Homo-oligomer: A and B are copies of this chain.
Amino acid sequence: MAGTKDGGSGKPVAQRLLATATRLFAERGYDRTSVQEIVEAAGVTKGALYHYFGSKDDLLHEVYGRVLRLQQERLDHFARADAPVERRLRDAAADVVVTTIENLDDTKIFFRSMHHLAPEKDKQVRAERRRYHEQFRALVEEGQRAGVFSSATPADLVVDYHFGSVHHLGTWYREDGPLAPQEVADHLADLLLRALRP
């Protein structure tokens, strides 16, 4: 990539800054992380940060963007698969768990910091979230219409129930805990599917 000198740590400066910021934001929260701390931890100067990013907020938006893009791409993939709806929902439900755990820092930041987005950006992010939510809901509704899922609970609530557990992962999941990401994902997808049994 052009214009990305390497400070001697094997990574372009912009990437190193973003990775460092992500780690620090997840550890101590966005507001509790100073620009000074980020540049010190990344081994660059303030000038360099402001060369690559317009503001501290920009760093946060990069994280948001990454999370949104990733989740949307994965869901697109699983929703469009050629398989029965139970299979597609289960795969999507499990996959969002795995990718959330694999990007736990990013998703922690995402869920914790959403509430201090500027109005315009907030609107945009909410729109993307809604699109994601609705695509997931469509899977549930498809199964309900087909009779393979119970219709006892509104599809919206079902989606929020599952996403709640995803949102919650950042609170309790530990890398060195007893369950591998895939195991957690299987269990949580299982719970969802069992709850939907007619």
A191 contacts the other chain (CB 8 A): yes
Report yes or no: B115 in contact with A187, Cβ–Cβ below 8 A. no
Q: How many copies does the complex hold?
A: 4
Interface size class of A (residues with CB under 8 A): 35 or more
Residues of B within 8 A of A31 (CB): 29, 31-32
Report yes or no: A29 in contact with B116, Cβ–Cβ below 8 A. yes
Residues of B within 8 A of A161 (CB): 164-165, 188, 191
Q: Is the interface of A mostly helix, strand, loop or mixed?
A: helix
Report yes or no: A167 in contact with B171, Cβ–Cβ below 8 A. yes
Which residue on chain B has the smallest CB distance to residue A196?
B194
A157 contacts the other chain (CB 8 A): yes
Which residues of A (113-134) have their CB < 8 Å from a CB of B? 114-116
Contact of A191 among B153, B172, B179 (CB under 8 A): B153
Which of A157, A164, A195 has the most CB atoms of chain B within a 10 A radius of its CB? A164
A81 contacts the other chain (CB 8 A): no
New contact pairs (10) apart from A153-B187, A160-B168, CB-CB < 8 Å: A29-B31, A111-B171, A112-B112, A157-B191, A158-B191, A160-B165, A160-B172, A161-B164, A164-B167, A194-B195
Closest 6 CB pairs of A and B: A164-B168, A164-B165, A31-B31, A164-B164, A195-B195, A191-B195
